[in-house]
Amino acid sequence: MMTITFAVLLAAFVFRISNLPRPAMACLVLSFVMVVGIFFWEIYSPEYGFRMPWLQVDLRHAAPAGST
The reported pLDDT for the residue numbered 38 is 87
Q: What are 8-47's pLDDT values in tens digits?
A: 999 999 999 999 999 999 999 999 999 998 888 887 767 7
The reported pLDDT for the residue numbered 6 is 94
Q: State the burial class of residue 36 (Cβ atoms within 10 Å of its Cβ: 0-12, 13-18, 19+).
A: exposed
HSE-CB for 34 with a 13 A CA cutoff:
15
The reported pLDDT for the residue numbered 68 is 59
Question: What 3-state DSSP class applies to 65?
Answer: coil
